[in-house]
């Protein structure tokens, strides 16, 4: 398997630089283990080194206990992997959140993806008390205050310097006529610089969505990474479509998986084809590959995709707005 070139891993800030340079960026995601042993984390993350431009580490994913995202991100950085540290509002009040932000900055961690976090009732300890002292927009504003003004939320001065690159979550939609991206614009006004989205496996939806957010005033230096997955089976694809909020998977794709002699390999092939199409859509800065319990598929998908350059926003939006992946891959 050939690695993508060029791709210098483990250099702090390379994720932001790659986006600003206009290269189509591919990130991946790992869920830290329920473990006290860093080697259990590295067993999941090291196969992605040299393939993904950066790797997310989740923060109590599914409202379940895992190795902390701060510790996990630092371990990845020590081992030549650019981390994106997920940071949720669910488990900590504003004091604890700011404690961890200062600690992350002191460890040289840059990339943050700010999230609300799943309700504990969805996890395996439903008696846990949710905190939600800050919402995601206020937490983004707190990160920006520490970075840009050297101040905590209540104005107390902070010494030293944080170098945070701040991200938010987003869920693309097929926009109706009167739709406006109010939530996304609010996060951008709060200071978000990039977004990684929920699974959106329909390139036609992505085209219409990115065209509309550009028309609504989303700035060109805000970077959108579309969430994709190498599906394992038609059954898993249909479960994701029906149970994961905001997930978009077209029915033709599930039917294609059902007809495949080797569904798992077909899922990887579909993911590569989707990446190739996303790389041609103005306003798409990259893709975020998520494959829970299937991380071994990610290096193969990225290697098959290779390195691509992103086209300027708006260059071909009108010409490409009506293209559909089902027309390219008829059943």
5: pLDDT confidence band, cut at 50, 70 and 90? very low
* Tens-digit pLDDT profile for residues 177-218: 999 999 999 999 999 999 999 999 999 999 999 999 999 999
Residue pointed to by tokens 């008390």? 129
- 314-320 long-range CB contacts below 8 Å, 24 or more apart? 314/214, 314/282, 314/283, 315/282, 316/280, 316/282, 317/207, 317/210, 317/211, 317/214, 317/281, 317/282, 317/283, 318/211, 320/207, 320/280, 320/281, 320/282
Spell out the domain ranges in the chain: 14-328
> How many whole angstroms separate alpha carbon 223 and alpha carbon 167?
9
How far CA 192 is from CA of 38, 102, 168, 175, 324, in Å, comes to 30, 18, 6, 22, 30
Query: Among positive and negative, which fits the CA dihedral 227, 14, 317, 190?
Result: positive
According to CATH, what is the number of the domain 14-328? Answer: 3.20.20.220
H/E stretch holding 151 reads none
312: pLDDT confidence band, cut at 50, 70 and 90? low
> How many whole angstroms separate alpha carbon 195 and alpha carbon 186?
12
- pTM here is 0.89
**Coil, strand, or helix at residue 233?**
coil
Q: Which residue from 302, 303, 312 is spatially nearest to 27, judged by alpha carbons?
A: 302
* Tens-digit pLDDT profile for residues 226-264: 999 999 999 999 999 999 999 999 999 999 999 999 999
Q: Which residue from 273, 134, 288 is spatially nearest to 200, judged by alpha carbons?
A: 288
pLDDT score recorded for residue 319: 38
E strands within 124-189? Answer: 165-170
H/E stretch holding 56 reads strand 54-57
**Most distant pair of Cα atoms in the chain: their distance:** 62
> How many whole angstroms separate alpha carbon 73 and alpha carbon 109?
7
The count of residues in the chain is: 331
pLDDT score recorded for residue 330: 26
Q: Kindly state the percentage of the chain with pLDDT values over 70.
A: 89
Query: Are 45 and 76 spatial neighbours (Cβ–Cβ below 8 Å)?
Result: yes
């Amino acid at each position: 398997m050939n690695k993508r070139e060029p791709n210098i891993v483990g250099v702090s800030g390379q994720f932001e630089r790659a986006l600003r340079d206009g290269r189509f960026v591919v990130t991946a995601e790992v869920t830290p283990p329920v473990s006290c042993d860093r080697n259990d984390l590295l067993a999941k993350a090291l196969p992605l080194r040299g393939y993904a431009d950066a790797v997310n580490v989740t923060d109590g994913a599914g409202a379940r206990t895992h190795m902390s995202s701060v510790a996990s991100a630092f371990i990845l950085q020590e081992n030549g992997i650019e981390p994106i540290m997920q940071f949720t509002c669910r488990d900590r009040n504003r004091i604890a959140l700011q404690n961890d932000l200062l600690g992350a900055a002191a460890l040289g961690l840059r990339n943050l993806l700010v999230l609300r976090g799943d309700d504990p009732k969805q996890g395996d300890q439903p008696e846990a008390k949710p905190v939600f002292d800050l919402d995601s927009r206020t937490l983004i504003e707190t990160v920006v205050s520490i970075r840009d003004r050297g101040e905590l939320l209540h104005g107390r001065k902070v010494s030293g310097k944080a170098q945070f690159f701040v991200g938010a979550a987003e869920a693309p939609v097929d926009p109706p006529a009167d739709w406006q991206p109010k939530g996304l614009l609010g996060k951008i006004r709060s200071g978000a610089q990039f977004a990684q989205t929920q699974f959106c496996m329909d390139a036609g939806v992505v085209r219409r969505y990115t065209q509309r957010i550009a028309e609504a005033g989303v700035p060109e230096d805000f970077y959108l990474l579309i969430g994709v997955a190498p599906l394992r089976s038609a059954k898993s694809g249909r479960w994701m479509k029906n149970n994961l909020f905001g997930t978009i998977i077209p029915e033709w794709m599930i039917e294609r998986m059902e007809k495949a002699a080797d569904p798992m390999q077909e899922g990887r092939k579909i993911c590569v084809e989707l990446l190739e199409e996303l790389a041609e859509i103005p306003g798409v800065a990259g893709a975020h590959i998520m494959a829970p319990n299937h991380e071994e598929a990610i290096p193969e998908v990225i290697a098959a995709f290779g390195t691509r350059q992103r086209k300027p926003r708006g260059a071909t939006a009108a010409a490409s707005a009506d293209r559909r992946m089902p027309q390219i891959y008829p059943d």
